[in-house]
C-alpha cells in the first residue's frame, strides 16, 4: 500500500516517515474504506458524494478561513495538527523546513501571535466537532468551546500544554527520490528535542506526484 517507518526518538517525540509511490489497488481500496469517515464522519454518504464535496472545497476554498488543519481525539487525548506541503521543484522544499514551519504556526495560533490573521483557530475546530455525524464527545466539544471563548477574550495558551502533530508532505516530480532518513531524523531530533509540547508526532509524507490524491478525488 505504502511504505512507513516509525521512529521513537524519545518518550514524547516520534517521527512517522511515509512514502507513497503510486496509487495501487490496495491503497485505492483503503481510501475508499476511510474517505467518507475522514471527511464527514458517520454521515452515510457514498464515496462518490464525499468526493464531490471535497472537489467543491478545493475549487472554492477561501484563504480567509483559518484554523487548525486537524483536531483529533484518541483515548481521551486531544491532538492538534498543522500541515505544510510543497513541491520539490519549488523553493527547495524539504521535510525539515516544512516541519519547523508547521510547529511555529501551531505555536503562534495557540499563543494568539499568528500575525495579521488573528482568526480564532478554536472556533473552526469547535464548529467541526459539533457536527452530529462526527460524533464527538460532549467533553471534547466543551473543552474546545472553552478554549475558543478564552481566545475571544484574549486569553491565550502555551504550546507546551498541548499534544501536537506537525506534518509535511513533499511532492516529487514523477521521479522517485528516496528521502535521506538518517539525516532527517538527526535534524529533527536536534531541533525538536528542546522545543515545547506535551507530546509530539511528526509526519513526513513523500509522494511521487501531487496528482496521486487529486486524480483519486476527481475520478468518478
- The torsion defined by the Cα of 48, 54, 55 and 59, in degrees rounded to 10, comes to 160
Over 80: is that where the pLDDT of 91 sits? no
Give pLDDT, residue 128: 83
Q: Tell me which residue has cell 495558551.
A: 157
pLDDT at position 187: 96
Question: What pLDDT is attached to residue 9?
Answer: 93
pLDDT above 80 (res 92):
no
Instruction: Provide the residue ranges of all domains of the chain, joining segments of one domain with +.
Output: 3-21+68-209
For residue 117, pLDDT beyond 80: no
Q: What is the mean pLDDT of residues 125-146?
A: 87
- Percent pLDDT > 70 in the chain is 94
pTM, rounded to two decimals: 0.89
Q: What is the pLDDT of residues 10-38, one digit of tens each?
A: 999 999 999 999 999 999 999 999 999 88
- Check whether 43 has a pLDDT greater than 90: no
pLDDT tier, 65 (very low <50, low <70, confident <90, very high otherwise): low
Model pLDDT, residue 61: 62
Amino acid at each position: 500500500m505504502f511504505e512507513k517507518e516509525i521512529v521513537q526518538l524519545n518518550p514524547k517525540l516520534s517521527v512517522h516517515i511515509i512514502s507513497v509511490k503510486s496509487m495501487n489497488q490496495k491503497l485505492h481500496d483503503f481510501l475508499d474504506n476511510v474517505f467518507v469517515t475522514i471527511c464527514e464522519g458517520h454521515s452515510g454518504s457514498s464515496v462518490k458524494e464525499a468526493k464531490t464535496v471535497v472537489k467543491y472545497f478545493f475549487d472554492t476554498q477561501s484563504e480567509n478561513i483559518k484554523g487548525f488543519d486537524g483536531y483529533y481525539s484518541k483515548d481521551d487525548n486531544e491532538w492538534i495538527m498543522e500541515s505544510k506541503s510543497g513541491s520539490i521543484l519549488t523553493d527547495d522544499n524539504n521535510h525539515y523546513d516544512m516541519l519547523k514551519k508547521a510547529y511555529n504556526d501551531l505555536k503562534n495560533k495557540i499563543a494568539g501571535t499568528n500575525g495579521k490573521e488573528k482568526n480564532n483557530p478554536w472556533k473552526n475546530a469547535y464548529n467541526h466537532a459539533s457536527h452530529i455525524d462526527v460524533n464527538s464527545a460532549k467533553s471534547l466539544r466543551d473543552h474546545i468551546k472553552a478554549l475558543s471563548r478564552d481566545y475571544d477574550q484574549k486569553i491565550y495558551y502555551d504550546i507546551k500544554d498541548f499534544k501536537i502533530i506537525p506534518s509535511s508532505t513533499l511532492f516529487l516530480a514523477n521521479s522517485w527520490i528516496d528521502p535521506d532518513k538518517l539525516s532527517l531524523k538527526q535534524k529533527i531530533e536536534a531541533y525538536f528535542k528542546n522545543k515545547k509540547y506535551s507530546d509530539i508526532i511528526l509526519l513526513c509524507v513523500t509522494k511521487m506526484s501531487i496528482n496521486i490524491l487529486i486524480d483519486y478525488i476527481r475520478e468518478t
